[in-house]
Structure 1
Amino acid sequence: MEVIEQAVEKIKEEMSKESNPYIAYIGNYVLENIEVNKPAAEKIAAGSKTISESFKKVQGEARKIAQNGIAMLAEREVISIVTKYFEFEGVQSSVEDIQTKAEVIEFPKKESIENNPKKAQIDFDASLDDFLV
């Protein structure tokens, strides 16, 4: 069995044993990039690099920036940490810029009274004297 195939099997096996969705996310990223990173595949196949350990690295970085016990890392930061941990020399997939994925929502413009003559006509006419008893 080729080294890359062994590494893929180890990653899939580790993913199947874990119920943590972050492990699955990292595992999928590793699977996408393992083919172009033979040195990383060799380390995975040898057992010296695991998804769980890469997740611990991510947690460690999050703890460094945590405030009041809460931290948030952007997807780019997580991928960067995982890429460094596995020592990927090149990556096949990249995290798209969030702004390019964001869908622009345009709300209908309200018509001003000047632009709509029908709305400019006011049918309601009252004076303060009408309300005094």
Structure 2
Amino acid sequence: MSTQAALDKLRAEMTAAKNNQYVQVIGQFLLGYLEEHSDSADKLAAADKTIAKSLDAMKAEAKKKQSNGMAMLTDAEGFAIVLSYYGIKGSVTTQAAAAAITVTSAPAAKTAGTDFEVSLDDFL
């Protein structure tokens, strides 16, 4: 499969799960990974592999490490598990992991006629 087919598949999964922030984070990581490692396109485009199932693989791995009902993975460990799920051998740099989880928030869009501002101090 082509790199474009893998990109399309990942984006479609992300769109279908647009309210699942974990799918979005893993999806962004995989999109970035694919840009740098186009040779992994076939593995990422595999019909039987999904971002959601990669989260299940991460959960299963975390359960093996749990202590007192709690388990933690570093970003790099989690992303390495995702790559392994897709059958990709390699390591994840902390920099790549951090880039995938960077969240930016856009300012709320102004609508027409919303120039009205009130402060609590105006009432005191």
TM-score by length of 2: 0.64
Alpha carbons 1:11, 1:31 under 8 Å: kept: yes
Q: Quick check: 1:7 aligned with 2:10?
A: no
CA distance in 1, matches of 2:65, 2:46: 32
Which whole-Å CA distance do the structure 1 matches of 2:82 and 2:76 have between them?
A: 10
2:80·2:90 contact (CA, 8 Å) conserved in 1?
A: no
- Aligned counterparts of 2:28 and 2:50: Cα–Cα separation in 1: 13
Deviations 1:62-81 (A, max 9, x none): 11112232211111110111
- 1:32-111 paired onto structure 2 within 5 Å: 32-35=32-35, 36-38=37-39, 40-89=40-89, 94-96=93-95
CA distance in 1, matches of 2:88, 2:38: 6
Cα distance change on mapping 1:41 and 1:73 into 2, 3 Å: same
CA RMSD of aligned residues (A): 2.1
Deviation at 1:27, TM superposition (A): 0.7
Equivalent position amino acid for 2:56 in 1: K
Give the aligned partner of residue 16 of structure 1.
Answer: 15
Q: Percent same amino acid at aligned positions?
A: 33
For residues 59 and 44 of structure 1, what CA distance do their matches in structure 2 show? 19
C-alpha distance in 1 between matches for 2:10 and 2:31: 7
Aligned residues: 93
What stretches of structure 2 of length at least 5 have no aligned partner?
Answer: 96-124
CA contact 1:37–1:89 (8 Å) conserved in 2 = no
For residues 54 and 6 of structure 2, what CA distance do their matches in structure 1 show?
Answer: 15
Indicate how the Cα distance of structure 1 residues 83 and 43 shifts in structure 2: closer, same or farther if over 3 A, else same: closer
- Structure 1 73/10 Cα, relative in aligned 2: closer, same or farther at 3 Å? same
Structure with max Cα Rg? 1
Partner amino acid, structure 1, of 2:34: I
Structure 1's unaligned 5+ residue stretches are 97-133
